[in-house]
Structure 1
Amino acid sequence: MPRPFRIWYPGATYHIYARGNRRGAIFTDDRDYLQYLKILESVRSNHPFTLHSYCILNNHLHLLVETATSPIQTIIKEMHSRYAVYFNRRFDQDGHVFQGRYGSKVIESIDYFLGVSRYIHRNPLEANMVKDLSEYPWSSYSSYIHNTKNSHVDPARTYSYFKDPVHEQYRIFAESQTSEEIIWVPR
């Protein structure tokens, strides 16, 4: 049975996730994380998209991506193909780096958009990798709560759903345990 086609239209927003083959590490040190982000920027220069949030862990990753003129299939295929070539060359390996096809979920509501952003940013905490979310260096979370520039992400859409001070309201939202504590501005 053939794989289903991915839904795409200009402006489509997705939760993208991918895991290392056999749940193995796909990021071993800072060099690998930096290379992935470098590839992301290179691909974005050819296929514009907005990255709303990200978290890259040693054996998987999450991206919150809004497309512009290129289908998500084109964007992720190029990013992951280029990263796999880099990774295999670096470690003198052959074969798959990522486990199967990347996952994607179309986001069509504010609740889902914010829920995915929170889920992505909470990943290191839920995996018991850190006690404080802002400690994890390979996530966009720190730039969100400190209202600092991260050249990879554009927090404007996410911030637009919160009252001032938006970075503090987002921190409370992301660090809360339940959705009942949500303090965003309904639209």
Structure 2
Amino acid sequence: MPRKKRTWFPGAMYHITARGNRKDLIYHEREDYHYYLHLLEKAQKRYPFKLHSYCLMPNHIHLLIETEMHSPSTIIHYIHSLYARYFNNKYKCIGHLFQNRFNDKVIKDWKQMMDTSRYIHLNPVKAGLVIKPEKYPWSSYKVFISTSENSIVTSEKIVNTMCSGSKNTYKHYVEMNLKKDNLYS
């Protein structure tokens, strides 16, 4: 049975997720996270795209990307094939690192974009890895709430869309969900 063709057009925005095969870890050490981020930056230079939010969880990834002239398939294939080769060489593994193909969900409007970014940034809290999202080192959240900069993340579209350029408004938007769910005080 043929695979369903993915929807793609220049300027489309996607929530990309990919999980380790059998839900196994895809990062074991800090160096692994750094290498994946390096590959994101390398891919941006080769296949320009905007990375609006990201979170690298121990066994899966979340990316909110906006394409320009290349499909998400081209971008993610490039990153994941290089990362899988790195991982398999480093840890003396063979076979697939990622479970199935990556998932992509087209972002249809600004509300879905905002909700997806919040979901991505809250992922480590909901997984019990940290109490506050800014404490998780492998996410773009700090770029959204502080003067921290990250050369691969473009936070302006999200901060300016709903928050009128205010990082405090974005922080409130994300963290009010935590308070409502009593995840932290």
TM-score band w.r.t. shorter chain: over 0.9
Residue 175 of structure 1: how far off its partner (Å): 1.0
- Secondary structure in 1 aligned to 2:161? coil
Sequence identity, in percent? 42
Partner of 2:126: 126
- The answer as to whether partners of 1:147 and 1:167 remain within 8 angstroms in 2 is no
Partner of 2:95: 95
Residue 165 of structure 1: how far off its partner (Å): 6.0
Residue 17 of structure 1: how far off its partner (Å): 0.3
- The answer as to whether partners of 2:11 and 2:67 remain within 8 angstroms in 1 is yes
Question: Using the alignment, how far apart are the partners of 2:163 and 2:6 within structure 1?
Answer: 34
Q: Residue 113 of structure 1 aligns to which amino acid in structure 2?
A: M
Residue 58 of structure 1: how far off its partner (Å): 0.6
Note the residue ranges of structure 1 that are not aligned, 5 or more in a row.
Answer: 181-187
Partner of 1:6: 6
Query: Within 5 Å, which residues of 2 pair with 1:26-37?
Result: 26-37=26-37
- The answer as to whether partners of 2:156 and 2:165 remain within 8 angstroms in 1 is no
- The answer as to whether partners of 1:159 and 1:167 remain within 8 angstroms in 2 is yes
TM-score w.r.t. structure 1 length? 0.92
Q: Residue 43 of structure 1 aligns to which amino acid in structure 2?
A: A
Taking a change above 3 Å as real, the CA distance of residues 65 and 164 of structure 1, as seen in their structure-2 partners, is closer
Residue 161 of structure 1: how far off its partner (Å): 1.8
Partner of 1:154: 154
Question: Using the alignment, how far apart are the partners of 1:128 and 1:175 within structure 2?
Answer: 15
- Secondary structure in 2 aligned to 1:11? coil
Question: Using the alignment, how far apart are the partners of 1:64 and 1:75 within structure 2?
Answer: 13
- Secondary structure in 2 aligned to 1:147? coil
With 59-68 and 160-169 compared, the bigger mean Cα shift is at 160-169
Partner of 1:175: 175
Note the residue ranges of structure 2 that are not aligned, 5 or more in a row.
Answer: 181-185
Question: Using the alignment, how far apart are the partners of 1:132 and 1:44 within structure 2?
Answer: 29
Partner of 1:39: 39
Question: Using the alignment, how far apart are the partners of 2:12 and 2:128 within structure 1?
Answer: 32
Query: Within 5 Å, which residues of 2 pair with 1:51-90?
Result: 51-90=51-90
Question: Using the alignment, how far apart are the partners of 1:64 and 1:163 within structure 2?
Answer: 18
Residue 163 of structure 1: how far off its partner (Å): 3.8
What is the root-mean-square deviation in Å for CA atoms of aligned residues? 1.4
Partner of 2:110: 110
Structure 1 moving runs of 4+ over 6 Å: none
